[in-house]
Amino acid sequence: MKFTIFQESRIGRRRNNQDRVAYSYSREALLMIVADGMGGHLHGEVAAQIAVQFVAQAFQREARPALADPVLFLSRALTNAHHAILDYAFDKSLDDAPRTTVVASIIQDSQAYWAHAGDSRLYLLRRREIASRTKDHSRVQLMMDQGLLDAEGAAKHPSRNRIYSCLGGSHSPQIEFSKRTPLYRGDVIAICSDGVWGPLDDQLVIANLANGRVMETVPKIMDLAEQRAGPTCDNLSLIALNWEENYAEGQPGSVSTKTMELGAFTTQMEGFLRTRPAGGSGHEDLSDDEIERAIREINQAIQKYTK
């Protein structure tokens, strides 16, 4: 495999960052995942952390160096992550289990597969056009499908953040799977939380990401989303990949897995912040002891479904 990849997550104007983003790759397979947690004090970020950490660890166990069945992997990993979140809520005696959206993508043999629940999105850009995009599992999207809302009305609708599928919560997730999608040199896959796509439209996403220079364009589109959202800016996370398979000359920062050992992995995962952003906002209501305890409890919840 040969690709360039870059990820970033920002707190926006919220007190805590409940988004989680990660990628992991072996010599022959790549995982990308974004989760946007929902819930009160600490719980939203715990749900997102469990989802991302569980799927990443499952990938590292099974992609040696490739997955036997990427679709089956996504189905099993996301379903078990959902149950790990429910177990966490049960062990903590929570009245309502924390929840998280999720988008996870596997690339293997120059083919992409993805699955999602909620309104975090995946975009596949090809030749400066959207070749594919996940459909939000939201009330507003259902109203648009029924012809009751247009895009402009959806952007201002008071229920625009109401979703009907997620990991955790009281209902089983409705996980939607893509078809197997061949990738070609220059294709861009971008996965983001609604804090990124919400203030933007599809044309802005195309304009800022389609050139493939993801290490430059990811920070720029994050800046643009923050500026447009203003004082109501949500947590925002974005991971973008430029596919460079079968071509000798790559871009600065590109990754080639050809020389990796069969059992080796590289993983980049965002976790609980230990620092506070400028201005004093951030994890003001989370002490170091709370973070350490949450990490222990997350690992315990994940361990129950680890084989």
Helix ranges (DSSP H) in 92-138: none
pLDDT digits (tens, 9 = 90+) for 32-76: 999 999 987 678 999 999 999 999 999 999 999 999 999 999 999
Rounded distance between C-alpha atoms, residue 197 and residue 119, angstroms: 10
SS3 86: helix
pLDDT > 90 fraction of the chain, expressed in percent and rounded: 65
- Residue 285: band (very low, low, confident or very high) from pLDDT cuts 50, 70, 90: low
Which domains are delineated in the chain?
2-303 (3.60.40.10)
Report DSSP state, residue 138: B
Q: Could you read off the pLDDT of 230-260 as tens digits, one per residue?
A: 999 999 999 999 999 853 344 456 677 877 8
**Residue range 171-190, pLDDT digits in tens:** 899 999 999 999 999 999 99
Q: Over 90: is that where the pLDDT of 157 sits?
A: no
Cα 141 to Cα 122: distance, rounded to the nearest angstrom? 15
- Write out the two tokens for 305: 């479904």
Residues 88-135: tens digit of each pLDDT: 999 989 888 899 999 999 999 999 999 999 999 999 999 999 999 999
In this prediction, residue 248 carries a pLDDT of 33
